[in-house]
Amino acid sequence: MDFFLSLFPILVVLIGMLVFYRSGSFVSVIGWILAVIVAAYYFKTPWNVIMGATLTGIVKAFGISLAVVFTMFLIFLMRETGALKKIIEYVKGIARNKEEQTLFIGMGFGSLSTSLGMVTPAMFPPIFLLLGFSPIAAIGVSILCYDPLTSFALFTIPLTLPSKVAMAFGIKPPGIENLNEFIWDYTFKVTVLLPVISIIFAFLMLKVVGGKQAIKKNWKAALISGLVLSGSALVIAGFRILPVEIIGIISGLITMITVYFIYRKHNNRATDTNLPFNKEMFKACLPFILLIIISLIVNIPSLKMNLENILGQTEVIRIIADKKEDLNILGNVWFWIMVVSFISIFILKPTGKQLGNVFKLWITRIWGPFLAYSLFFAVAFIMAWSAMEVVNGKLVPSQYFAQYNMDRIIGITLANIFGPAYPFIAPFLGLFGAFVGGSETASNVLFAKIQWEATLSTVGANAFMWIYAAHAVGGGIASAITPSKITNAAATIGVGGKEEAQFIKAVLVPVLLMCVITGAMLMVIVYL
């Protein structure tokens, strides 16, 4: 019963989307209400802790939810002024058919964009729709392209931040002496598990776009693009050639170039004439160019640290007891997307009517994604803080924590059920955590201690880094079915629950299969 009730809010979310075709924003509210009820009345969590967890989740989600909000504004502005249409016409000259566009933009540019902190579920659906994709395909590729290297999203925050938190929790696997070593070892082990997964994502994108026929005609290109994307990341991580923060950027760029030359040779493009990259085209692309340049600059470690410290304590807010959150405004990607969006108004020079249309559409469509991200993060923190209490101004585990903490119940139950086979199930915990929390980062942070304890009680500390890496990969895979991301993508093109449900149904089995494959690979690695 404990295990079932811990999962109950998430099961209701899945049923609501898959069976009743309700949107992610709607089921996020239902999921949050159920999480509040079971935490308060069964898992012995005080109301002040539940509300504090909710507010913490909402604030923690700002890094994603506000990035989505301002990315949507930028895309709507570019579409209304015709800039997006110009870019689409140019892309058609580079990648001629839907399958090539899927691999070029999805596998290549999608991974590069994700690594730079762009939110592809907010940015890409209108692009694919203008390219002639169906709404389901536009949503599908925009979400799936977030996945193949999602551990390297946002300058690798899904790897670096959880590493810091894990060591702060006192997690110190054998052979890991410092944070830098933890990050590199974690990154390398993630990349070892990625090649098979990246290839499957390439095939899955093709399936969403053109079914089995698209796979049959383009399987070689999909295979190569998946191998190049993950293989280049593996080489860089293995030999520590470049900083961890830019692995995804470089791998995405290499993949774009590879896909271009695969199809250029196949289609004999030596005689093709593309649209010229003239002044008008440069102006249309300038918002994206600025976003890439600014993202690279503000993420230079020394500069990023200075930006994070400029506002000091003025941007630190107290949530509950000793729990504080640093809004980190100047060091966060959402702020710079907002800046680029504002600058783009002067670059693209919309008419008064066009700007009015942009604001009207923007205000109408941002609430669904914002609510979904915020409340799914809130649910994640309610589960993590269940059976905790405030004592002497500090949030601490209560006397019921060991028995009634929802995350512990899930992790320990799975460890008890699977025992020595626990590595097989570890990626599914990553999948679950990212589904609840809305991001791999949240999953990696919130489940670090659970994975550590479960690993110690089953296969031993030596296996922890591999299990934690598989957890990260599972969290990355989960992005394909995360309701908040699906709602976000659907909102940008004005579709709703039916399309969201159709996409989840199309990818749910492949997603579970990828976790099975990851778990199987992990079993082989751990026991060999």
167-174 long-range contacts (CB < 8 A, ≥24 apart) are 169/448, 169/449, 169/452, 171/448, 171/449, 171/452, 171/464, 173/461, 173/462, 173/464, 173/465, 174/461, 174/462
Count CB-CB contacts under 10 A for residue 357.
16
Between the alpha carbon of residue 33 and those of residues 26, 60, 251, 330, the distances in Å are 11, 19, 41, 33
Decide: 262 and 96 in contact? Cβ < 8 Å. Answer: no
Which token pair is 336?
């710079």
- Residue type, position 262, single letter: I
Q: Report residue 397 as tokens.
A: 């585990």
Supply the pLDDT for residue 380: 79
Residue 480 structure tokens:
């394909």
Closest CA to 451 of 394, 508, 386, 522: 522
pLDDT in tens, 446-477: 678 778 878 888 998 899 999 999 999 998 89
For residues 47 and 473, what is the distance between their CA atoms, to the nearest angstrom? 34
Collapsed DSSP state (helix, strand, coil) of residue 399: coil
pLDDT at 17 over 90: no
Q: Are 154 and 62 in contact (CB under 8 A)?
A: no
The shares of helix, strand and coil residues in the chain, as percent rounded to the nearest 5, are: 80, 5, 15
pLDDT band at 372 (very low <50, low <70, confident <90, very high): confident
Share the mean pLDDT of the chain.
86
Q: At what angle do helices 153-168 and 247-266 cross, to 10 degrees?
A: 150
In sequence order, the 6+-apart residues with CB closer than 8 A to the CB of 376 are 28, 31, 57, 61, 436, 437, 438, 482, 483, 484
**Does the pLDDT value for residue 199 go beyond 80?**
yes
275 contacts 176 by C-beta, under 8 angstroms: no
Partnered with residue 271 across adjacent β-strands are: none
- Whether the CB-CB separation of 367 and 69 falls below 8 Å is answered with no
Question: Residue 519 pLDDT more than 90?
Answer: yes
Residues 6+ apart with CB under 8 A from 88: 127, 130, 131
Q: Grade residue 271 by pLDDT with cuts at 50, 70 and 90.
A: very low
Confidence class for position 241, pLDDT limits 50, 70, 90: confident
Mind listing the pLDDT tens digit for each residue in 471-512? 999 988 988 887 778 877 888 887 767 777 788 888 888 889
Residues 6+ away with beta carbon under 8 Å from 81: 348, 349, 350, 354
**Cα–Cα distance, 146 to 137 (Å, whole number):** 14
pLDDT of 266: 64
Q: Which residue intervals of 61-178 are DSSP H helices? A: 62-81, 83-94, 98-101, 110-115, 120-123, 125-130, 135-144, 153-168
Per DSSP, 397 falls in state E
Would you state the structure tokens that stand for residue 528, as one six-digit string? Answer: 């060999």
pLDDT in tens, 55-110: 988 888 887 788 878 888 988 898 899 888 888 788 777 777 889 989 998 888 88
Instruction: Enumerate the domain spans of the chain.
Output: 2-527
Q: Confidence class of residue 177 from pLDDT cuts 50, 70 and 90?
A: confident
